[in-house]
Structure 1
Amino acid sequence: MTTYWRPLPQVGPARPDNAPTLAGGWAWFTHVEVLERGQAPQVEPVEALPGDWRARLTAPRPALMGPGWDRPRLMGILNVTPDSFSDGGVHAEAEVAIAAGRAMADDVDLIDIGGESTRPGAREVPVEEEMARVLPVIRGLAGGPRPLSIDTRKAGVARAALGAGAAMVNDVSALSFDAGMAALVAEAGVPLCLMHAQGGPETMQDDPRYDDVLLDIFDWLAARVSAAEAAGIDRERILVDPGIGFGKTLAHNLALLGRVSLFHGLGCPVLVGASRKRFIGTISGAGGGRPRAPGSVAVALACAAQGVQVLRVHDTSETAQALALWRAATQGSWDEDRP
């Protein structure tokens, strides 16, 4: 039976001498939760960690595209689709999207640009149409203060986006949609985010089921990381995303968020994109889109407390302000050069 070891992260000044740093970041831990399929979780002191798990959980993650991992990093969402679930296509016009990207640059560390909606029930967008949406925006923001990520499942779109100035690929299919994506990313030598999804957008919310959602997704992402490495993509360039809302019920989402620190055991930076998702509205009663901003910020802070390195968000200024105060209150640190 496979045993999984989840760190129980803490932040703040009361750090014992024996507490290792989680992934070289801002959190530390003295205990781990031992997880096995069909068994009740057990808590053990950090000394019980096997050597391979300890190495993966504590090794500093290499910096990607500039900033390191001394604090949570924000990925600003810039959807340039007419049918986005979160903003109703407000950025569908290129000039509007470029202006929005420039405005969010003060609050985020990178900007994720997508031209195909992956909301439940969304249709697949042809390559030419997706490129027509994203390329003008990428060209308009390239060379700005923040690196750009292309959110796409398609190698043709990714190739054109990288040529236009994008510096990272965010593939919600984890290289499983387009057989050419792995070779493209390997050749380009850019960072890659592998996200879990059960099924495609058309059917993923029909009736998602798991034996153990947390451990199933951990194993699935581990296999996709191995597949990416086999294709020539260095693990040091890979991020992992458990895919909140992609083929998950509300209970599945909460199970993942409650123990998201397990994914540090993959040895890669962890990215979470829960912003404005349906479960936030279900729990809070907030309507779709911007009314879910406070709930989205709350989830982002909960992820930061578990050492999640990248938070993919719509409400960039609100999340940046909340993180700044969270860091000041819990760690006594802040960016003193901010206006």
Structure 2
Amino acid sequence: MDERQFYRPIVADEGPPLAGGPLRFAAFEVLSRSRSPHRIAAEAAPPEVLAAFTGRRSFAGLDLGAPQVMGIINVTPDSFSDGGQWFDPDTAVRHGRELVAAGAAILDIGGESTRPGATQVPAAVEAARIGPVLGALAGLAPLSVDTRKAPVARMALDAGAGIINDVSALSFDPAMAGVIAASTADLVLMHAQGTPETMQDDPHYDDVLLDVYEVLEARVAAAEAAGIPRARIAVDPGIGFGKSQDHNIALLRGIALFHGLGCALMLGVSRKKFVGTIGGGAPGAGRDPGTLALTLAALGQGVQIHRVHNVADAVQGIRLWSAVAR
């Protein structure tokens, strides 16, 4: 049996549009598990492969022909990035309005920290944290809720959220897929190896880029089987979720591969530990310059949705990158 081949588009000045966006590509790097990579012209790829990489994307009513910024609001007392700065609901609401004013196209609200080592929060506690914030921000921008739990997702959708961002890719709560399928909500499927309590103990992959791709491919298929159309799905390779520094870098170098899933592509790299390890800077806002550097690198591979804490920096950087790239 022939070994499976994976296709990573190589951005160029001409060729078909990458995921219907502003970038183009003229060739693929063809990857497999046992052979050395080689390149082929884009038109030499199988028709179904080329179609997956060129189709225009939308998500949550947003046209992804241009990059979009998702602003993070952690309504938690123990976030790694802000230390509970937005735990008070009134403060979180005010921050959400500031993020939209700064250019956030989506707000992502979470009531449970999933940082390495974090313990699970009861669904009732999680829902109580985010409910007032959702109610106050409903209608301001598309609202996403970062949760693994079906009861929280159900409450959030009733309160005005239109996106569920599941860091377990529907694998934590068996009821989650049914909740989303019964709604019109969009879904983010993120890859994670293990749970927050243990995921950074000893992450291991045979080939992190191909392994993560195949897991997300299977999770997209599972979501479709549950009744959630691919057009409502975004994928996120899960930087820092069960990955070493080398794994994170390998995923970022090859992230254009994930356009082959035919879904919107999201990146959540903001303020992660390895940003500070490589670039320096204190935890939290001290890692914003490194976050922006990685955001710009991801733009060069066609990543469409950028989940960040510092929206103003990301928006400014994307505008300048777009002006130069154009």
* TM-score category of the 2 structures, normalised to the smaller one: over 0.9
Aligned residue runs from structure 1 range 214-229, under 5 A:
214-229=209-224
Aligned to 1:98: 93
2:154 and 2:23 map into 1 onto residues whose CA distance is 36
1:31 and 1:205 map into 2 onto residues whose CA distance is 35
2:203 and 2:194 map into 1 onto residues whose CA distance is 9
Unaligned runs of 5+ in 2: none
Unaligned runs of 5+ in 1: 332-339
1:253 and 1:326 map into 2 onto residues whose CA distance is 23
Identity between Structure 1 and Structure 2 (%): 53
Residues 1:114 and 2:110 are matched in the alignment: yes
Aligned residue runs from structure 1 range 107-146, under 5 A:
107-144=103-140, 146=141
Note if contact 2:199-2:242 (Cα within 8 Å) is conserved in structure 1: yes
Residues 1:149 and 2:151 are matched in the alignment: no
Match of 1:21 among 7, 17, 34: 17
1:67 and 1:211 map into 2 onto residues whose CA distance is 36
1:67 and 1:232 map into 2 onto residues whose CA distance is 21
Amino acid at match of 1:288: P
Residues 1:168 and 2:163 are matched in the alignment: yes
Note if contact 2:43-2:50 (Cα within 8 Å) is conserved in structure 1: no
Note if contact 1:9-1:28 (Cα within 8 Å) is conserved in structure 2: yes
Match of 1:6 among 5, 8, 18: 8
Aligned to 1:188: 183
Note the C-alpha offset of 1:73.
Answer: 0.6
Amino acid at match of 2:52: R
Amino acid at match of 1:35: L
Q: Secondary structure at the match of 1:87?
A: coil
Amino acid at match of 2:112: E
Note the C-alpha offset of 1:51.
Answer: 1.1
1:148-195 Cα distance to aligned partner (Å, 9 max, x none): 001000000000011111111000000000010000000012100000
2:124 and 2:62 map into 1 onto residues whose CA distance is 33
Note if contact 1:151-1:172 (Cα within 8 Å) is conserved in structure 2: yes
Amino acid at match of 1:2: R
Report the TM-score when normalising by structure 2.
Answer: 0.98
2:34 and 2:126 map into 1 onto residues whose CA distance is 44
Amino acid at match of 1:7: P
Aligned to 1:30: 26
Match of 1:42 among 38, 43, 58: 38
Aligned residue runs from structure 1 range 248-267, under 5 A:
248-267=243-262
Q: Secondary structure at the match of 2:79?
A: coil
Aligned residue runs from structure 1 range 52-71, under 5 A:
52-61=48-57, 63-71=58-66
Aligned to 1:197: 192
1:243-301 Cα distance to aligned partner (Å, 9 max, x none): 00000000000000001000000000110100000110010121210000000001011
Note if contact 1:7-1:31 (Cα within 8 Å) is conserved in structure 2: yes
Q: Secondary structure at the match of 2:189?
A: strand
**Which range is displaced more, 202-211 or 40-49?**
40-49
Aligned to 1:337: none
Q: Secondary structure at the match of 2:17?
A: coil
Count residues with an aligned counterpart.
323
**Which range is displaced more, 1-10 or 129-138?**
1-10
Residues 1:235 and 2:230 are matched in the alignment: yes
Match of 2:292 among 297, 300, 311: 297
1:48 and 1:71 map into 2 onto residues whose CA distance is 27
Runs of 4+ in structure 1 deviating by more than 4 angstroms, as ranges, are: none
2:127 and 2:201 map into 1 onto residues whose CA distance is 29
Note if contact 2:191-2:237 (Cα within 8 Å) is conserved in structure 1: yes
1:290 and 1:132 map into 2 onto residues whose CA distance is 27
Q: Secondary structure at the match of 1:111?
A: strand
1:181 and 1:217 map into 2 onto residues whose CA distance is 21
Q: Secondary structure at the match of 2:30?
A: strand
Q: Secondary structure at the match of 2:8?
A: strand
Amino acid at match of 1:23: A
